[in-house]
Structure 1
Amino acid sequence: MCQNAAERTALGVSWYQARYLCMLATAYAQAGQAERGLRVVAEAKDLVARSEEHMWEGELARIEGELMRVHGASAPEIEACFARAIAITRAQGAKSLELRAVLNIAHLWCDQGRRNDARALLTSTFSWFTEGFETADLRAAKALLDELT
């Protein structure tokens, strides 16, 4: 993934580069390598600012929150990333990406004992969907809702 991202950058390819960097940063989060992932997020944010390809801005904020959580940042810092992700994706009408951010903040709130807040936010977001219930994100949302009720 690193090689591909570097090759695309060297070639001057910017279309969907932010998406590729999102995937790379997510891989770093899953591997527990928060600092590397946060560097990738910073690179992607810079690219978005230059290219005006804002479609992945919310997802970058969500992934940044995940990486900050792995890094051991404070709950308010992590929550701010997820809240920013929710606001951006909601404004864009990107419901699937909004659901991911809502899932992240709901898990954070559950860890803080804010189960009612988590359930309320997740319920309102989940209820928007009328199809696609076999997707991983909607299955995860349903499982968390079942746990919270």
Structure 2
Amino acid sequence: MDEAQKSMEEFQISREELLKLWGKVKDQNIEGLSEIESFYAGIIKNHEAMFIKEVDGVANPEAHEYEPEQGVNPYLHILLHGLVETQVIRKQPIEVIQFVNAMKKRDLAEHAIHHLLCAIFFPLILEGRNRGGETDMAKYATLLKQLKTKKPEKIDAFLDKKFHQTIS
């Protein structure tokens, strides 16, 4: 396991922990959180509307199964944000910073940049899982190099073609 993979695992959090954090964010009771809890509470706070709809709006959110055609899986969405935001914070891989800087030059908001990073990274996570291995970080770095020169609105189409699936 390489350093980037280890870094990602350090910042993983369970559905139950995310639900507890959501409750604290809703109650505005985020004092005394650990570093990782504060990190994820910030991401959740930026996605309050999604949590209201996709967590508060379903029966039994602890066990609800999210089907892609039925809406966003808020837990997966937040975990992906956590992974890519960790990459940005740690500047690993370095290509993530180059991509972020290129998108900022195109006047893209930070949150939108993180969503693009999620869209790039997620299919690679799936590929690694389907192979029974880890995410191919070299392939990710190569994709980031390729995509930093593209207009943001062209990236989803590129990914759809490359991975033969819809990424949203």
TM-score by length of 2: 0.26
Q: Choose between structure 1 and 2 for higher RCO, CA contacts under 8 A separated by at least 6 residues.
A: 2
